[in-house]
Structure formats: C-alpha cells, structure tokens
C-alpha cells in the first residue's frame, strides 16, 4: 500500500466510527447551547411583578369606554380575521370567520353587519356590530 504525501487512508470502518464521534460531539454542543439559550432569566428591578392568577389584583388595561367583554370580542374577531383581509365587506368577513373556524357567536355577530358597507379594520367592524370602542384622544 502506497501512501500519498500528507494523506492518511483510513478505510470505511474507521470513517464510520469517526462520523459517529463527530455527530455525538456536535449533538452535545447543540444541546449545551440550547439549554443555555432557554434558561429563564430573572426579571430586572424595573420590571413589573407578574400576576399569577386571574383573581389577582392586576387586571390589565381596559380602554376607556369599553368593557372587558368588548375587548375580548374585538380581540377574538381580530384573531379569526387576520390582518390581510381589509378592506372587506360583510360576505368576505363571514366567509373568513367560517374558514378560520371562528365560534358561531362571532359569525352571528358578523351577520348583523350592514350588507353594502366596507370595513377597513376590526375596529370598524366592532363599531358596526355595536361593541363599545375606546375613545381616541386627538
């Protein structure tokens, strides 16, 4: 067997063994990096204390002029309608809600919309179906 200058021929069995070792090392390094990236960091001194249960004192912000139910319904509508829909008419809104498996009560609310109006965002839809909306300062 003649060896070329600077080349070490190892054979298939040794190649396989070296590949397994390298895979193991790479997996161990990746696992180490992943564990470090996902470690929880303590909150800074300037961060708010998290509310751990719905019964806690912190309730979040309900905009002036709206109830928690109004905020929840508008939020649900937004989740099921997405952002790329607008401007949209009543039929498009109802079709989108159904396609996105929205609860029946949201579809029923959308069916109250005037037939020929177009809506530029979820806020306009909320106003048209009679939800209270926040008062915007101008």
Listing DSSP states for 42-63 in one string gives PPPTTSPPPP-STTSS------
Neighbours of 62 (CB within 10 A): 14
pTM above 0.75, yes or no: no
At 108 the pLDDT is: 93
Distance of CA 13 to the CA centre of its chain: 48
At 85 the pLDDT is: 85
Which residues of the chain are under the pLDDT cut of 50?
Answer: 1, 6, 58, 138
Residue that the structure tokens 């300037």 belong to: 46
Task: Give strand ranges (E) for 19-138.
Answer: 88-89, 118-119
Coil, helix or strand at residue 133: coil
At 58 the pLDDT is: 46
At 136 the pLDDT is: 59
Q: Are 90 and 125 in contact (CB under 8 A)?
A: no
At 26 the pLDDT is: 84
At 51 the pLDDT is: 59
- Structure tokens that stand for 96 in this block: 């989108």
């Amino acid at each position: 067997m003649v060896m070329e200058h600077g080349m070490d021929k190892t054979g298939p069995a040794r190649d396989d063994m070296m590949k397994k070792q390298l895979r193991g090392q790479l997996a161990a390094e990746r696992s180490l990096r992943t564990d470090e990236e996902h470690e929880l960091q303590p909150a800074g001194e300037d961060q708010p204390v998290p509310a751990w249960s719905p019964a806690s004192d912190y309730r979040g912000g309900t905009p002036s002029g709206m109830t928690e139910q109004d905020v929840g319904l508008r939020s649900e509508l937004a989740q099921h309608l997405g952002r790329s829909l607008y401007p949209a008419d009543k039929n498009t809104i109802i079709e989108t809600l159904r396609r996105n498996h929205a609860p029946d009560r949201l579809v029923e609310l959308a069916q109250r919309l005037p037939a020929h109006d177009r809506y530029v965002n979820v806020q306009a839809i909320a106003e048209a179906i009679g939800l209270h909306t926040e008062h915007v300062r101008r």
